[in-house]
Structures are given as C-alpha cells and as structure tokens.
Structure 1
C-alpha cells in the first residue's frame, strides 16, 4: 500500500506541475519528468510485484529480481524522455542537436531491452509448470517485448493514465490487506427499487438534459441574445450542469441503501461540483476564473467519487483519511472531463435511471400478477 501511495503521489505531483502556471519555470520540466517517468512508474512496479508475491504468483527470488531490474529499466525510460525533450527544445530553437539530444532512439532501445528482461523473468515464472523451459522462455520474451514497449509508450503520455493505474494498485493493496471476514449470516442490505415517481422525475430530467445539450450545440443558430457558438456552448454547459443537480440527488436516494452512509456526503460534494462548474461556464470562455473554478469542481467531483471507497480501507481513522484524500486527489483527474462534459453525460444518467425504474415497475407488476393467480 505504501508503494502504491508513493506511485500515486508521484503521478499527482506531475499532474499538479502540468496544470499549474509553474510549468513555465525552468526547474519544473525536469521535476515533472522525474515524477512521471521514474518515481511514479517505479513505485507502481514495486507495488505490483509485492501484490503478486503476496498472492503467491511469484517466488521471492523472482520478485526480488523484477524489483531490482525495474530500476535501470525505468531509469533508461526517464533518460530517453529527457533526451527527447532536450532534442525537441534544441530543434525548436534552431540549434544543432547535442549528443544527448540526438540519442533518444538509443536510450529508447536500451530501455526497451531492459524492460523486456524485467518482464520476461516474472512471465516465465507465471508460465512455469505447463510447458518446457525453452518454450516458456520463448513465450515469455514474445510477451514481454511488446508489453515493455506499450508501458514505455504509455509513460510518455500525460500522467493521467499513471494516476488511474496507481489508484487501481492502491485499491488492490487495500483489498489485499483487509482481513477475511467470517461467513456472513446477516441479511444483505435492502435494495430500494425505483418508484413510479422516480421514473417520472428521470423522464423530466432526461428531456431537460437533452434540451441543454441541444442548446449547447445549436443555440447560436436560433436562440436570441446568443452572440456566437462559444457563448451558446457556455450557456448550454452551464444550464446542463445545474440540471444535473436534481439528477444526482435522485440517484443518491436510489443508491443510498446499497452504498452505505457516505452516499449523502458524496451526493452533496457532486452537487457542489455541478454548481461550481455551472458558475464557471457562466463566466464564459477566456475569463481568468473559469479554469480555476473548473479545477475546483473537478476536485469536488473527485472526492465525491472517492468517498464511497472509504469502506475498502482498513486501519485507523488517520489512515482512512489519508488514503481517501489520496484517492480523491487522484479521482480529480477523472473529475475534469466529468464536470466539463456534465451537460452531455446527465441525459445518459437520466436514461439509465428511467430504464431501471421501468424495469423495476414491470417486475413489481409481474410479482403482483403471480400472487393474484
């Protein structure tokens, strides 16, 4: 869990540098590369190796080799990224490429070879017992080579994918560390089926959400008082964000019996996120406060996503608070597209809730008919 948390902090630090105004400073790019290309991936690799070792999938010797071999593999990946960045800056400035800036391909090949060796050994161990040694080695290398190439390519992208991967590792580590409960005899939580009133409200919200989405896309061609398509998009996104608030309250009422006592707080945070995003869109494109307000909305949405995961965390109160805080910050990266596209996602949520209410209503009618018969 500590390795997964360190990986998450590394990728989150890179995300903060990427989205903050500090990225223009000379020291931020090297720090960003170190966090996103070395610290985050290496700590995530350690976490994955430990999880496989605890699950009994790797022997101690293979796990140790994989962890040690990951260090030069990710170091070479970092060097290749730094070489690429230096070469790009030199070419952009019209300068002659230095030996370091022109050696990106060499470092990439060396990193690919090191990553292939790092992955081939545990893959060979996972294939043990089913095939002969030469066949296992051949298959392990054939699987490890493209896997190393794909992992290296993913790490060259923005650190959002790394954040999501670190969250998956953290959740897996939390579930691994939880004690196995005794066989449960208590009844399962009551599931409240959506009523006709919920279905009617979902239908109304579906129509309102579709109207907001249509206005965002086409409002500039027919709505009076709309200056241009950007203005229409901002207004449609704002109205759609505000219209998503009652939908979230409605969905929270349906899910609360299944998701536990944290659901009302998650709904409150998500509603606050929609309110802030609606305000941000009303400010209009180009307003200096629009992007900061969107980031605040994304952070609120991220914590709304992470809060129900608190039940997976074992340990003391401070441990749970720290882990949920990390997961909330990580989920904020997902919250950015969620709040930005909320006007187009809300009709989808309304449709899902409407279909669920319709199906539960048919099931109740079928049950009543069977009882009457």
Structure 2
C-alpha cells in the first residue's frame, strides 16, 4: 500500500511526544517493507527532520527521490485535515497509526473455505509473492462474515468500533455472483454494494455463479462417485459451466413447492425415471434455454450435483492442487468472460491494500 505523508505533518510536530509519534508512524511504514512511503514535497527543511537519525534521513530522502520520479498513486494520505474527514482514506498522524497497524481483512462468506480460492489467485497471479509475505507476518487475515446476508452487519459493527468513521475500514470484500444464467437479476447485494461504494471499501462481485465455478476441471478428483458428473461437466460449454450449480445441480435451482410437486408426480406415476424429465421442464425458462443442448443422459448426471461428501469443506481444498491449479489453467477458466482479466483485477486490488 502506498502511503503519502504531506509536508504539514512534519511541520506540525511541536514537542517530544509528537516527535515520537511521527517516528513510530514512519517505522510502522518501513518495518520489514510493510508499506511504501510517498513524499511529494521536500520536507528536509522541517525542524523535526533535522533532529532525526542519519538512517531515518537517508530513508526519507530515498522515498522522496523515488516519489518524484515515479507515477504511483497514494492509497491513503496522512494530513492535518484528516481529523475532519470520515469516509475518504485521509488520516491525521494519530489516526494513521491506528489505521496502518490493522491487518488487511479479506471478508468472505466463509473464511475457512473461501480462503483457498483467494490463495490460489495470489499464488498464481502475484509473481512477487508479497501477499504471502504479508500473510506470514500476520498483516492479512480472512474474516468470516457468516454468510452473504451478514457482510453488511459485520462492516457496520466495525464502523461502530471506530467511532462511526468508515475510513478506518481496512477491508476487501469478495462476494459470489449468484446468477443462475447470464441475464439473471440478483438484487440481494444491492444495499451492501451501495454502502461499500459510500465507504470507499474495495470489493469484487464474481462474474461466475460462485467460487467453485472457477476451479479447473482437472483439479476435481475422478472416482466412482464423481466420474459421470465430471464427464458430463466436461461436455458443457464454458458459459454453461459458469452458471451450473455444482453442489446441488438443477435440483438445487428449484424452490420447495416445485420439488414437492415433482416428488408427488413421481410417486403417483411410480416411475422415478421420469424425475429428470419433470425437473427439466420445471426449472426456470432461462436455465432450460442455457442448457438446451445438454443430452438427457448428461442432464441426469448433473441434476443433483457432484457427489462429494462435505462438499463445502472438501471442494474448495481442490484449489490447493498446484499441479492443476496455476496461472494458465485459471486463465483458461476466465478467458471467455466479459472481463477476462477478472482474477488479475482481484489480485491487483488486494495488493493495493497490503
């Protein structure tokens, strides 16, 4: 993360405590190269600079020289005006210490399971591997929002902790697309996204249905339980794979009333083999149109989802398969999307916050 300190911060130091506070702030930024310090003005005429050690002066001079020759953007600003600002990432000297000492919180619906997806992206797209350096230092943490509906409550509780100042949120939010077909209108995130924009919190909503849809096919182990499903899945087009309900199949896209109606009809006819025909006729028209060319046999294999015990725990772990999950294999998963750079964008957003 690029941290800009304005000249007035150095000019405003009047006593020993304020000098110690400034030095502490600088050392937070410099410690183990945690952040990048930007100085867009010459601060060496400031009294407090003259009283610093030669090492600190040398580091400040290096930061100044690098800032003026580079074209980098500040991710947060330390300024005297920070005390009057609630939303933008502009902080006073005291506020900046509180903000920068926080680890980056990556907020997902399930921190234990969804972390595998993020780690796979960073492992495959971040050539510097700085993400894992920061994670090993405890400067990155995955936060469990407790389901998509609770992300907003989670963030509001944190804002309250920071005296109702959203600028202290040091977060990245990742949410599923949840679309069942390309034109599916999903509104459950509208209020959350409205507030994330208002609070200047970086977020990403996945283009595919959910994280599981980004897993390369060859990372899914083939066995007696999964073979037929995988073979059917391989015959789908890339767009069809983007929106398939991997865990619960087409059956999972029905509501309770539709499921009950199919079960009653099968029982009445005493023919369970008619279930998939009834299912195909009952799913949403747009889902039916998306998978119109899927054979009845393959539709049947996909109908109830892949048979993996403890799916929500086990399936995300397949992202750790470095033999089959790497930059090229992940890029092949997104190359056809409206944004083929989606995973690269996620990586860049996260790196800008650490």
Greater relative CO (CA pairs within 8 A, separation 6+): 2
| Alignment TM-score > 0.5, same fold | no
Give the structure with the higher percent strand: 2
Give the structure with the higher percent helix: 1
The alignment's TM-score, normalised by the length of structure 1, stands at 0.23
The alignment's TM-score, normalised by the length of structure 2, stands at 0.24
